[in-house]
């Protein structure tokens, strides 16, 4: 991400879990493993708030490597990462759909 240029709105805050490296998303009261649980900053004021949380997270170092990521909201209201890299990161390897968050979601669907 180019320094000084913030991700475009709407956006979410993402990072990696310190202990297991899982992709996590800021969910308001804490960090969640699924993008569908992420809190969304839709305007400048909320984005500024996310930037402050990002700075706090960096200082705390847990979760690690936080950054802001642009999303779009599809017709069903689901969050979709704006860039293909982020889509892969939020789901798991496209060549191994049995691994990563996509597999977790799959399992949840089965158990429900």
Partner 1 sequence: MYRYDEFDERVVRQRVAQFREQVGRRIDGSLTEEEFLPLRLMNGLYLQLHAYMLRVAIPYGTLDSRQMRQLALIADRYDRGYGHFTTRQNIQYNWPRLRDAPDILEMLADVQMHCIQTSGNCIRNVTADHFAGVAADEVEDPRPTAELIRQWSTLHPEFSFLPRKFKIAVTGSAEDRAAVAVHDIGIRIVRNAAGEVGYRIIVGGGLGRTPMIGKTVREFLPKDELLAYLEAIMRVYNLEGRRDNKFKARVKILVHELGAEAFIARVEEEYARLDGPSLNVDPAELARIAAYFAPPAFEALPEGSAVLDQAAARDPDLARFVRVNLYPHKMPGYTAVTVSLKPIGGPPGDATSDQMRALADIAERFSLDELRVTHIQNIVLPHVKLDEVPQVWAALVEAGLASANAGLVTDIIACPGMDYCSLATARSIPIAQEIAKRFADPDRQQLVGPLGIKISGCINACGHHHVGHIGILGLDKAGIENYQITLGGDPGNEASLGERLGPGIDAEQVPDAIERIVDTYLELRHADGESFIDTVRRVGLDPFKPVLQPKEPARAAA
CB of 45 to partner 1, least distance (A): 27
Write the DSSP assignment of 43-57 as a string of letters: SHHHHHHHHHHHHHH
Stretch that binds partner 1, among 26-34, 45-53, 77-85, 104-112 (CB under 8 A): 77-85
Among 42, 96, 106, 107, binds partner 1 (CB under 8 A): 96
Q: How far is it, in rounded angstroms, from Cα 83 to Cα 71?
A: 8
- Cβ-based nearer residue to partner 1, 21 or 28: 21
CB of 90 to partner 1, least distance (A): 9
- Residue 107 touches partner 1, criterion: CB under 8 A: no
- Residue 62 touches partner 1, criterion: CB under 8 A: yes
H/E stretch holding 11 reads: strand 11-16
Q: How far is it, in rounded angstroms, from Cα 32 to Cα 57?
A: 14
The angle formed by the CA atoms of residues 35, 37 and 41, to the nearest 5 degrees, is: 85
Number of residues near partner 1 (by CB under 8 A): 25
Q: Structure tokens of 28? A: 């308001």
Positions touching partner 1 (CB under 8 A) are 16, 18-23, 58, 61-62, 64-65, 82-85, 88-89, 92-96, 99-100
């Amino acid at each position: 991400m180019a320094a000084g240029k913030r991700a475009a709105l709407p956006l979410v805050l993402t990072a990696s879990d310190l202990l297991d490296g899982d992709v996590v998303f800021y969910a308001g009261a804490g960090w969640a493993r699924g993008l569908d649980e992420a809190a969304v900053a839709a305007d400048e004021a909320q984005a500024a708030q996310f930037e402050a949380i990002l700075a706090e997270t960096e200082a705390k170092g847990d979760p690690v490597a936080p950054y802001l990521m642009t999303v779009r909201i599809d017709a069903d209201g689901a969050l979709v990462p704006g860039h293909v890299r982020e889509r892969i990161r939020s789901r798991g390897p496209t060549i191994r759909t049995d691994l990563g968050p996509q597999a977790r979601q799959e399992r949840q669907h089965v158990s429900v």
